[in-house]
Amino acid sequence: MHNIILTVGSCSGESVLTTPGDIRIGDKHRIERHELLGGSGLNYALRLLRAGFPALPLLSVGDDRLGHFIQQELLQACADEAFPEPLRQLIARQDFFSRHIVTPHTTIIVSKDTRTIFSEKIQGVAYFKQLVERRLTAIGEFPELRVGAVMIGHIYSDHPDVSPGAAGGITRSLIETYSGRALIYANLGASQLSLGADFWEPYLPMVDVFQLSLGEVRTFFRNHPAVRSLADIIHWFRERHITAVITLDKFGAIATYRDGAEGVIFDWPFDLESVVDSTGAGDAFAAGFTATLFEHPGEQFPGFLRSIQAASIWGAYACTSLGGAQDCPDRDTLARFSAKIINRKFAQVEVKNLTDADLILKLLDKAY
């Protein structure tokens, strides 16, 4: 029996335009262009595969030139015979694609330490639900494979404008199907987060880890006037026994585990010498977190702390290259990078009681 990690989400081509100066609308700018790949589901899969973890992507990918290029990149990433053969067979099949979807292209402008993203509307994305159902059925053809973890990224077809009356349907179905059967890591995109906290409240306790950035968390609670500060947000998650990770820049996090009885977790950012591009850092963090939990199941709170430390290394490494999945390191490379930067943290992972955490959360509210 082979445990595998499902990565469900988006994929795209990425044109990354870099300029050393500030971008001003109306001005001319000299740029360097880089043609890369990205999208949450693809970012997770490539990072996991390159690090030796058996990831099977379920992507909103079309049967077109870009889609076939993405398929070949994935097959190259899992060419090592250490991966189970059925994994390669599933990626190589024609039902990897949807004939209704056109694989999208994203343009990212990187200027100093900021990035601006322009995403195309995905043609045919409403058919993604059919593709997911077909791919899950295909997995069942291989009894030697078992889904041990599910990563849920940005699913465009879960947006209410795309699926009126069935918003959030794919994400909800995945959570309900795999809750209690596999590790579930939810790093939702704008399409799902736009539905708000009330919509997702019944489902998040069924998720093992819910990750979102500081900017996303404020959008998530935009219809909750009583939930504004970080302390309010942590309290909301604790009350509902939701394990949540709020990521910070460069690449740290604040987290709460289940009912929060252990305290508030602070994983302080690294003092990196330079940040090339943070585009894929959140997805890399999620992949590293999932990989560690997948490799060391059942460790409860100590395993959670171990995973957040590993995830911050994966996220920090992603800041050193352009795009979401341009430079996906193997384990040896990650180990060397970790040894190089481990002493550049402002502080190591800390667990604070609520009283001590409150002042830090207030300071972070002002800083961010």
Q: Give pLDDT tens digits for 95-130.
A: 999 999 999 998 988 887 677 888 888 899 999 999
Which pLDDT score, from 0 to 100, does residue 347 have? 67
Which pLDDT score, from 0 to 100, does residue 291 have? 98
Q: How confident is the model at residue 328 (pLDDT cuts 50, 70, 90)?
A: very high
User: Could you tell me if residue 19 is left (phi over 0), alpha (psi between -120 and 50 degrees) or otherwise beta?
Assistant: beta
Q: How confident is the model at residue 280 (pLDDT cuts 50, 70, 90)?
A: confident
CATH of 2-367, picked from 3.40.1190.20, 3.40.50.1370, 3.40.50.300, 3.90.1150.10, is 3.40.1190.20
Q: Is the peptide bond before 251 cis (omega within 30 degrees of 0)?
A: yes
Residue 177 in this model has a pLDDT that exceeds 90: yes
Strand order in the sheet with 105-111: 32-38, 12-19, 105-111, 114-119
Report the alpha-carbon distance of residue 111 to residue 281 in Å, rounded.
16
| Residue with more model confidence, 3 or 368 | 3
- Provide the b/e sequence for 71-82 (b: ≥16 CB within 10 Å): bebbeebbeeee
Report the alpha-carbon distance of residue 236 to residue 364 in Å, rounded.
18
Residues 6+ apart with CB under 8 A from 189: 9, 10, 40, 153, 154, 155, 156
Which pLDDT score, from 0 to 100, does residue 267 have? 93
Report the alpha-carbon distance of residue 121 to residue 185 in Å, rounded.
26
Contact indicator for 93, 61 with CB cutoff of 8 Å: no
Contact indicator for 252, 282 with CB cutoff of 8 Å: no
Q: First and final CA of the chain: distance in angstroms? A: 46
Contact indicator for 78, 91 with CB cutoff of 8 Å: yes
Report the alpha-carbon distance of residue 275 to residue 262 in Å, rounded.
33
pLDDT digits 0-9 by tens, 23-60 = 777 888 888 898 999 999 999 999 999 999 999 999 99
Phi, psi for 89 (deg, rounded to 5): -60, -40
pLDDT digits 0-9 by tens, 214-265 = 989 989 999 998 898 999 999 999 999 999 999 987 668 999 999 999 999 9
Q: How confident is the model at residue 321 (pLDDT cuts 50, 70, 90)?
A: confident
In the predicted model, what is the mean pLDDT of residues 135-161? 97
